Each structure stands twice: as C-alpha cells, then as structure tokens.
Amino acid sequence: MADEKINEPTDLNKENGLNLPDETEGAEHLSLRVGSNITQRRLDKYIQGRLSNFSRTMLQKLIVEQAITINGKYAKPSTKISPGDIVDLILPPPPSKEFIPEDIPLNIIYEDDDILVINKQANLIVHPARGYKKGTLINALAFHAKQLSKGSEDFRPGIVHRLDRNTTGVLVVAKNETAHWRLARQFEARKTKKYYLALVHGTPDLTADCINKPLAVHPRIREKFAVLPMIGKEAITYYEVIEKFRGYSLLKINIKTGRTHQIRVHMSYLRHPIIGDEMYGGRLAYRWQIEDKEATPQEPLFARPALHAWQLEITHPQTGKLVKFEAPVPDDMRLMLEELRKFRKISD
C-alpha cells in the first residue's frame, strides 16, 4: 500500500474570493498514513520526502516543538515510522516574497517578538484574493515588516485568522513560524475566546441564546453563505442583548466556531440582521430615521455592517500565558450608539 493522505490539505490561503472555509488562515493541517512499503525510516526524512517545500531543519524544529505527532504521540526527528502509522502535522505557510509593500497605516494594540495585535480598520481586506492584490493587510504588513520584526529578514506576514473586509477590531498576526502553528492550532481546536459587538435591527425575543445552525455556501449566490443543515459545517454563535432601543439592539456575541460570515448569517437567520449588512438583509441607518424626522438627503450613519471584533483571548505562543486584547469601539459605531441612546432609548 502506498502512502495515503487521510485528509486533503486545508488550503487556508486559497484565493477563491469570499468562499474561504472558515476564519483560520495560512496554516495547513495534514494527516498522513504511512504506506506498507515504508519501513525503518526516520520521521524527519519521511516528512521531508512528502513536503519538499519545507527544509529538513525546519521540519526537525517543528517535530521538537511538538507540531508533528505519530499516532497522536509526540516524537523525535529520529523516531522510526512504521507502516500504518498516522503522522499528523500543523504547518505554517512557506515564506513568500510576492506581496507588494504598501504604506497602509496600522493601529497596533500590542507587539512583541512573536505576535502583532492590531485594531483592524473598516474597508481593509486581510488577505489578497481574486480581484484584490493590493490594499490589503498583507500589503501593509509587508511594508512595515522590518520595523515590526525589529530588523529581522526572516519576517513574513503571518495571517492566522481573518475578519471580513468591513469588520473592525482585534486581529492577531504571527511573526514567526513557531508562533504561527501554535496559534493556528489554538484556533482550530477552538481554544480561543472571541467576543464581538453588533448593532442589529429589532430585539431578539430571548435576551441571551445559542444559535447552532450549520453553514455552507449559498446554493445560488456564491458570494453568500446560508444555513443549510444537510450539507453545512457546524457553526455555533452565542449572543447576549446588552442594550435595547426602539427598533434596534446592541449585542455581545461569542463565537465557538469561525465560519465565513458566521455572525452575519446567524443574525439574519434570527431575523435580526446587522445594521448596514445589505448582503444579509440589514439596512443602512440614517440620522433622520433615528430621530424620527422626515427623510432628507444625507450620508448614512452606518454604511457598513455594524460588527466589531471587540475582544480576543489567546494563549501566548511563546510564554504559554493567557492574554486578552481589546479594541475600542470605532467612531462610527460610537456615534450610532450616541444617537440611539439620545433618541431611541427604552425607559426601564
């Protein structure tokens, strides 16, 4: 029996527009079954034979750092593999120099030698995709690489997870291969905590609830996702109503999975779409609407989905300590809340 690939590589950098498998980026998770013709071969040599784009030195480092296991157990580079063994790997993306550096401002929340945490602004795509080769976060990181890595030539922008183009808030970037695979494993194993703030139309019947509805690509519109129980991937969203207004609500949201457009689709399914999210039934919000005045030509208070990645809790990839990062509410959401509290507040 020849070597067998248990699961296809999770190509989390695939450029297929918005149809990415989930929020995790960059890393590959592979499971390989050793064929019957492979005997007494060192683990590092075996993996290098399967993954020619990674150096043996780097693979040995990953084995030592426990990013690679045999039958669920940690091993050494010199460990001999046997037919039928399952080799499981989480690999960082290979270095790339194809990104065009661009001087795009970054709002840095925290930085050390291993991670960079930013407060992502609206209208910024995280990773280049079809039709978007410039103006992305990757291009910004490529420009700032040397200062971010303190002069290291080995730095490559390491996108570990994503936020939608117009979602603001906390996003962590890995600054080296070790940080990348360790963070990727946390996101994949759902060991991170992610909290969002969302302004939605109406008020849910329950002040707190869990939405557990599988998601898949929309059957007719490839740019969208939909609740599809028969073919969808598991998607779990918890929400809590923080403030109620006439016609609107502020929600705190915690997601256990990270499917593309998950919060937006789930809130639309609940019939309380996010303000400004026209793709999923949300409407633009204007000042004259909030103030109950006659319609007049004016710019909307909110012209994007009112969704903000508020807090992120991870285990630091180097220290092993639990760290929590928070991004302040963006100006447009803050102004919208001020209007709602002034003109639409519900008395207790």
User: Which residues does the annotation mark as catalytic?
Assistant: 164
Separation between Cα atoms, residue 175 and residue 138, nearest integer Å: 12
Separation between Cα atoms, residue 155 and residue 259, nearest integer Å: 28
What ranges in 51-192 are assigned the alpha helix state H?
56-64, 137-148, 177-188
Terminus-to-terminus CA distance in the chain, angstroms? 71
Task: Name the E strands within the chain.
Answer: 4-7, 28-33, 41-42, 68-70, 73-74, 80-81, 86-91, 108-111, 115-120, 158-159, 168-174, 193-201, 208-212, 215-217, 225-227, 236-245, 248-255, 307-315, 322-326
DSSP 303-341: -S--EEEEEEEEE-TTT--EEEEE-PPPHHHHHHHHHHH
What ranges in 166-320 are assigned the alpha helix state H?
177-188, 262-269, 287-290
Strand, helix or coil for residue 260: coil
